[in-house]
Structure 1
Amino acid sequence: MQWFDVGVNVPSDASTLAPMLQRAVDVGVTQIMLTGTNITISQQAADLAHLYPEQVFSTAGIHPHYAELAPNDFIQKIRTLAKQPQVVAIGECGLDFNRDFSPRDIQLAVFEQQLILACELGLPVFLHERDAFNAQYRLLEKYSKQLNGAVVHCFTGNKEQMQAYLALGFYIGITGWVTDEKRGTDLRDAMAYLPIERLILETDAPYLKPKKLSSDKIVGVKQNEPCYLPVIAKTLAALMDTSIESLATHSKHNTQQLLALG
């Protein structure tokens, strides 16, 4: 089985990437995508991806937390980054009305400009949403027919929200949140209704380490890493009533299809 981890945050120490990739390959995670969250980190993600062609890819965008800090020419900077072959999606972009690190009107404006750019470039979007479903959905619905695909990164919502995103033709990104029996109740219940053709797997490393690792724990790995993607899949296979082999095949195919790879 081979896996693709579509959501990995840029490591603070670039020297840790090579051993992390090796641990991932050891369990069959052969490809990852690094997440750009502002211009600087998007550039770092692209530079790291350039070192590992065919194995590492990246996104370029402005996370809603950093919307207020975005430079005036952020769209031109993202457009320039997106010219690089390893940059395969726009984002992480969206709305976060949970922490409100940036004013909501600025979040909306920065998000919409990135959606317009994604439509212009024909690239998919890597979406972030927390406690902002209605506002985010309205904006996405406006551009959905022009967008060349989207993945709802780290989806933690309920069945109804998931089905609304699916109706727009989007993919659903599932992380270790699904292993949390306390916080992940709505998500776990929704998984029985997720078409396997719309599933994408991700770790959101180094965050959201899967719960109850027990025998799956890897010695020396303290935070979440791509090597734990198969552990997430194990829980998900039971919730979706399918085989882990089928999850591997479909999730990787779905990711490559969304990102126009292979």
Structure 2
Amino acid sequence: MQLIDIGANLTHESFDRDRDAVIERARAAGVTRMVVTGASREHSPKALALAHAHPGVLYATAGVHPHHATEYTDECDVQMRALLAHDEVVAVGECGLDYFRDFSPRPAQRRAFERQLQVAVDTGKPLFLHQRDAHADFVAIMRDFEGRIGPSVVHCFTGSREELFECLDHDWHIGITGWLCDERRGRHLREIVGNIPPHRLMVETDAPYLLPRSLKPAPKDRRNEPVFLPHIVEELARDRGEAVEAVAAATAATATAFFRLPPL
């Protein structure tokens, strides 16, 4: 199997001590390519630097997460556009809305989201999206850009059946993480992931976050890594009633097409 992790926060400080080993462990487990999430003014350039250091293995996104929405100034907009001019930066984001934590005021979140959607319009690059407890506003803002933006993936989807079908009705892609493996919060996902068409489905770890709770044995430090992506794929395949190899191949092909990566 050759898997693609479409969302790994490899710039996180928890990887500072062993980042190269983390990448090699993932590759040895069949995770041959990883997209490093850029989610702030600080970390988006770091994501690009990692992609430059690991050509053909790591790619990057560039954007500002809603938690950091207040930092999306005119100067930030210029910075993001400069990063997106690089071929290794394959998507705009992580951007969107997060009303669960509200670390930034909601008006600031909406403004930063709209500005990054305009960046996607101007650059023609795909969107790597975040939405939590903000579905109605998220859909309304996305609808304002309908017909102008390109492919979009709702990263780390955790929503309801109704929200899933609305996303699919808009032809958005869906990113599934280890949230699926959480018997407390992810049970509803197991019942609906079979509705995602293969050409709309991708997989991710969101490392170092969202360590799959069904992973045995769990690492002592509770840090998630891309090496655990095969476990998520196994769980996803079981819930979809499909062979693991089929889900692995389909999600890798979808990610390759979505991010316009070289063929596997």
Tell me the TM-score normalised to structure 2 length: 0.95
State the shift of 1:220 in Å.
Answer: 7.6
CA distance in 1, matches of 2:162, 2:92: 26
CA distance in 1, matches of 2:85, 2:17: 26
CA contact (8 A) 1:159 1:193 kept: no
Q: Shift of residue 93 of structure 1?
A: 0.1
Aligned-partner SS, 1:129: strand
CA displacement at 1:151 relative to structure 2: 0.8
Given that 1:93 and 1:127 are in contact with CA atoms closer than 8 Å, whether structure 2 keeps it comes out as: yes
Contact 2:92 2:128 (8 Å CA) reproduced: yes
1:21: how far off? 0.8
What is aligned with 2:30?
28
| Cα distance, 1:11 vs structure 2 | 2.8
Within-5 A mapping of 1:28-67: 28-67=30-69
Structure 1 residues 21 and 221, CA gap change in structure 2 (3 angstroms): farther
Deviation at 1:163, TM superposition (A): 1.1
Q: 1:110 aligns with which of 109, 112, 137?
A: 112
Superposed displacement of residue 196, structure 1: 1.7
CA shift for structure 1 position 68: 1.2
Which residue of the partner structure matches residue 169 of structure 2?
Answer: 167
SS of 1:73's partner is: helix
CA distance in 1, matches of 2:125, 2:37: 15
Which residue is equivalent to 2:231? Answer: 231
Divergent runs of 4+, >6 A: 218-221
Residue-pair matches, total: 260
| Equivalent residue number for residue 95 of structure 2 | 93
Which residue does the alignment assign to 1:212?
Answer: 214
| Superposition pairs of residues 4-19 of structure 1, within 5 angstroms | 4-9=4-9, 10-12=11-13, 13-19=15-21
What is the rounded CA distance, in whole Å, between the counterparts of 1:203 and 1:174 in structure 2? 8
Contact 1:11 1:17 in 2 (8 A): no
1:88-167 → structure 2 map (5 Å cutoff): 88-167=90-169
C-alpha distance in 2 between matches for 1:188 and 1:97: 24
Give TM-score scaled by structure 1 length.
0.95
Q: Confirm or deny: 8 A CA contact 1:4 1:252 kept in the other structure.
A: yes
Asked if 1:3 is matched to 2:3, the reply is yes
* Residues 21 and 220 of structure 1: CA distance in aligned 2, closer, same or farther (over 3 Å): farther
1:126-179: CA deviation from partner (whole Å, max 9, x where unpaired): 100110000001111221321110110100011111111111111100000001
Distance 1:139 1:164, change over 3 A: same
1:76 is aligned to 78
Partner SS for 2:87 = coil
1:221 Cα deviation after fit: 7.1
Moved more, 60-69 or 185-194: 185-194
**Could you tell me whether the CA contact under 8 Å between 2:211 and 2:222 is conserved in 1?**
no
1:258 aligned partner, one-letter code: F
* Larger CA deviation: 152-161 vs 15-24: 15-24
Amino acid at match of 1:3: L
5+ residue gaps, structure 2, are: none
Q: Deviations over 1:176-213 (max 9, x none)?
A: 00011221122222112111221100000001111122
Distance 2:230 2:33 in 1: 13
The AA in structure 2 aligned to 1:11 is H
Q: Taking every aligned residue pair, what percent have the same amino acid on both sides?
A: 38
